[in-house]
Amino acid sequence: MLIAADRRIFVGNRADRPDSWQMPQGGIDEGESPVEAACRELHEEVGTAKALLLRESAKWITYEVPEDRRPAHWKGRWRGQAQRWFALAFTGTDADIDIHAHDKEFDAWRWVTKHELLSLIVPFKRTVYEAVFEEFSDLL
């Protein structure tokens, strides 16, 4: 979770799905710690490393992806994800964000409040986001 100085949250619209807004997320590569993965994914998806680690979630948060939304490359092996979340303070300016710097995960981005984000997120991820917001509530 990338948090601006005014406590709004970075959200990107997935390039492969219209009107699918979400916070950056991604997998952990072999030999990589969860925090290393979070920093790499931030750089790949948001195009910046201008962030300060504030906190790591106390536990893994899981969710199931509806069957019709599961990626083909999962080939029925997985039903969802387990995620470790990190709160990061954005230390740059909007000009430091470049969603086209790497593989295009997002085709648009903006800063939103947690309430706005809950109205934008796909329903099956809403409980995850609510849990993340509760855990990092003092930062938002």
Top-confidence residue, 74 or 135 = 135
The Cα 93–Cα 75 span in angstroms is: 40
The Cα 112–Cα 70 span in angstroms is: 27
**What is the number of other CB atoms lying within 10 angstroms of the CB of residue 51?**
22
Cβ-proximal residues to 37 (8 Å cutoff; 6+ apart), any chain:
26, 27, 28, 29
Domain boundaries 2-139, CATH class: alpha beta
Mean pLDDT of 114-118: 95
First to last CA, the chain: 10
Average pLDDT, the chain: 93
- At residue 14, the pLDDT reads 92
Q: What is the pLDDT of residues 34-86, one digit of tens each?
A: 999 999 999 999 999 999 999 999 999 999 888 888 888 888 888 888 999 99
